């Protein structure tokens, strides 16, 4: 392998401490080994593709919202799942024609941990036609959570069933239609089943084609020991990112003391991430949404530059 094919982790600002501690540990184990920590250089450099969820975009009509995204430097849009997707499929597809915007994902509630097989099958059946719509819109994928707070199945049984049955069937259908399922790890308060990006990536890898993973800065800030490390663990399976203020899950940039994304962005740069970074956060009551969104765009671009 040519040296130019690699990127030394030590060259990445801020990763020096990781490099040093890892090198020390390894040196103790393999005294004479020529140890160096290198990661493959991504084929293309990472890109910050900002994205808004449908409900967060100012405006009413579909074209108004898409105009706002284009005028303010957004690259992608995240849609609701369910009825909205079916009702607006054709009109949205038409409104998207000739625009540079892409459809990142669709996001809505899901749960595959019911004790009754019939309920799990119904959940699969609910999402199959939604995957067809998303495939038609050339979307990255459908965000799914395998389980929520109450998990009726045993963890081993649920993991096995999701990998070989419910998740597998959805992923295969997604791949057939040119899209994917996107597994979202949540905080342990929201589900005890999937909390870490690395675990989601492991499940997605076990499922195979059509399965990917995402990271949500809000959940990650509560569960991950390192956002940089978590995104690296996601690697090529990482297809989507959610972002919010790390203080109160509102729009980023209102609380700069808490809203620190440089470490995570550094991880995204290391893996050459070119998917969407999508706001999933609230707005203060009565706020000027447009003003806050524009402030967030500037703030996130600055943090990306620092990474
Ligand atoms: Mg999320």
User: What are the residues facing 182 on neighbouring strands?
Assistant: 143, 212
Q: For ligand 1, a single-atom ion, which residues have Cβ within 5 Å?
A: 216, 242, 280
Is the separation of the CB atoms in 278 and 104 below 8 Å? yes
Q: Which two tokens stand for residue 152?
A: 């009726």
Alpha carbons 253 and 259: distance in angstroms, whole number = 6
Alpha carbons 186 and 183: distance in angstroms, whole number = 10
pLDDT for 35: 60
How far does the centroid of ligand 1 lie from the alpha carbon of residue 45, in Å?
25
Q: Which distant-in-sequence residues (6+ apart) come within 8 Å of 56 by Cβ?
A: 279, 283, 289, 293
How far does the centroid of ligand 1 lie from the alpha carbon of residue 261, in Å?
15
Determine phi and psi for 303, rounding to 5 degrees. -65, -40
Alpha carbons 117 and 173: distance in angstroms, whole number = 19
Alpha carbons 139 and 134: distance in angstroms, whole number = 5
**Coil, strand, or helix at residue 65?**
helix
How far does the centroid of ligand 1 lie from the alpha carbon of residue 281, in Å?
9
How far does the centroid of ligand 1 lie from the alpha carbon of residue 144, in Å?
10
How far does the centroid of ligand 1 lie from the alpha carbon of residue 20, in Å?
33
Domain boundaries, the chain: 45-306
User: What are the residues facing 124 on neighbouring strands?
Assistant: none
Largest interatomic CA distance in the chain: 66
Ranges of H-type helices in 137-178: 155-161, 167-176
pLDDT for 128: 98
pLDDT for 41: 79
pLDDT for 43: 87
How far does the centroid of ligand 1 lie from the alpha carbon of residue 220, in Å?
10
Q: How far apart, in Å, are the Cα atoms of 307 and each of 13, 47, 157, 256, 297?
A: 8, 12, 40, 16, 15
Alpha carbons 191 and 152: distance in angstroms, whole number = 12
Alpha carbons 291 and 287: distance in angstroms, whole number = 8
Say how far residue 130 (Cα) sits from the centre of its chain.
19
How far does the centroid of ligand 1 lie from the alpha carbon of residue 203, in Å?
18
Is the separation of the CB atoms in 187 and 223 below 8 Å? yes
Strand-strand pairing, 38-40 and 6-8: antiparallel
pLDDT tens over the chain, length 307 residues? 444 444 444 344 444 344 444 444 444 444 445 566 666 778 899 999 999 999 999 999 999 999 999 999 999 999 999 999 999 999 999 999 999 999 999 998 999 999 999 999 999 999 999 999 999 999 999 999 999 999 999 999 999 999 999 999 999 999 999 999 999 999 999 999 999 999 999 999 999 999 999 999 999 999 999 999 999 999 999 999 999 999 999 999 999 999 999 999 999 999 999 999 999 999 999 999 999 999 999 999 999 999 9
How far does the centroid of ligand 1 lie from the alpha carbon of residue 177, in Å?
24
Task: Count each helix (H run) and each strand (E run) in the chain, helices first.
Answer: 11, 10
Q: Which two tokens stand for residue 141?
A: 């994928």
How far does the centroid of ligand 1 lie from the alpha carbon of residue 280, in Å?
6
Is the separation of the CB atoms in 238 and 276 below 8 Å? no
Q: Quickly name the fold that domain 45-306 has.
A: TIM Barrel (3.20.20)
How far does the centroid of ligand 1 lie from the alpha carbon of residue 237, in Å?
17
How far does the centroid of ligand 1 lie from the alpha carbon of residue 219, in Å?
7
């Amino acid at each position: 392998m040519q040296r130019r094919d690699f990127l030394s982790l030590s060259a990445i600002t801020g990763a020096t401490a990781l490099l040093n501690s890892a090198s020390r540990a390894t040196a103790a184990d393999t005294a004479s080994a020529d140890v160096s920590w290198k990661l493959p250089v991504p084929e293309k450099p990472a890109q910050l593709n900002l994205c808004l969820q449908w409900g967060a975009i100012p405006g009413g009509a579909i074209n108004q919202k898409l105009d706002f995204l284009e005028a303010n430097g957004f690259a992608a849009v995240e849609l609701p799942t369910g009825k909205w997707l079916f009702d607006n499929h054709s009109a949205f597809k038409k409104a998207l024609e000739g625009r540079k915007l892409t459809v990142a994902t669709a996001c809505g509630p899901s749960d595959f941990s019911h004790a009754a097989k019939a309920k799990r099958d119904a959940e699969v059946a609910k999402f199959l036609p939604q995957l067809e719509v998303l495939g038609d819109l050339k979307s990255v994928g459908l965000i799914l959570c395998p389980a929520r707070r109450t998990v009726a199945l045993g963890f081993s049984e649920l993991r096995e069933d999701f990998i070989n049955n419910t998740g597998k069937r959805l992923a295969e259908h997604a791949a057939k239609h040119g899209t994917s399922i996107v597994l979202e790890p949540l905080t342990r308060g929201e589900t005890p089943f999937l909390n870490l990006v690395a675990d989601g990536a492991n499940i997605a890898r076990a499922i195979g084609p059509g399965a990917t993973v995402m990271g949500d800065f809000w959940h990650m800030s509560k569960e991950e020991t390192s956002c940089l490390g978590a995104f690296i663990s996601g690697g090529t399976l990482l297809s989507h990112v959610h972002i919010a203020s790390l203080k109160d899950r509102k729009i980023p940039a209102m609380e700069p003391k808490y809203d620190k994304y440089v470490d995570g962005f550094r991880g995204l740069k290391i893996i050459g991430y070119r998917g969407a970074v999508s706001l999933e956060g609230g707005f203060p009551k009565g706020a000027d949404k447009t003003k806050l969104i524009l402030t967030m765009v500037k703030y996130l671009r600055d943090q990306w530059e620092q990474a």
